[in-house]
Amino acid sequence: MKCRIFLFIVSAWLFLLPSAGFCSGQYVLTESELTTLETNLTQLKTNNDKLQEALTKSEKALTQAGRKSDELTNQISELRQTLSESQKQVAILQARLQTLDRQTQEAQSSLATAQSELESARASFETLEKEHARTEERLRTQKTAWEVIAGGLALVLLF
């Protein structure tokens, strides 16, 4: 790129200078023109050196940027792999969570059934206790009645 610019400038400069082909006579350079040309040539060489140096720096920077790009590409690849593994772990954990949720629901259902059966058993127990209490009361009443009858018969037999 720098060489092209240098060649363009030199070509343009040479084109603008009158040449021997355009004139029928011979062209003679004066001392001041020669000094100007030498100064211009020196300036062009300096500019060319600066451009070459800038090109070298740009190439180094481009090489470093390429290496950095490769490093970043590798990091991206590693991060994608890590993300993929994390997503797999998340899927496994979600499946496990669903299983645990289902088991929790089943346990809650079993607990509700057990509580319902316990309540039913308690109600049945209370009913049976009441029946037992009535039966005991009835038996006490019968016992008392038999005792009264037996006492009455004993008195009748004694007198």
Residue 100 lies in a domain: yes
- In tens, the pLDDT along 36-45 reads 999 999 999 9
What range defines the domain where residue 88 resides? 55-128
Residue 112 lies in a domain: yes
Tell me how many domains the chain contains: 1
> Is the pTM above the cut of 0.75?
no
The DSSP secondary-structure symbol of 5 reads H
Residue 60 lies in a domain: yes
| Distance in Å from the first CA to the final CA of the chain | 153
Residue 111 lies in a domain: yes
Q: Give one word for 27, left, alpha or beta, with left for phi > 0 and alpha for psi -120 to 50.
A: beta
Question: How far is 147 from 150, CA to CA, in rounded Å?
Answer: 5
Residue 66 lies in a domain: yes
- In tens, the pLDDT along 44-80 reads 999 999 999 999 999 999 999 999 999 999 999 999 9
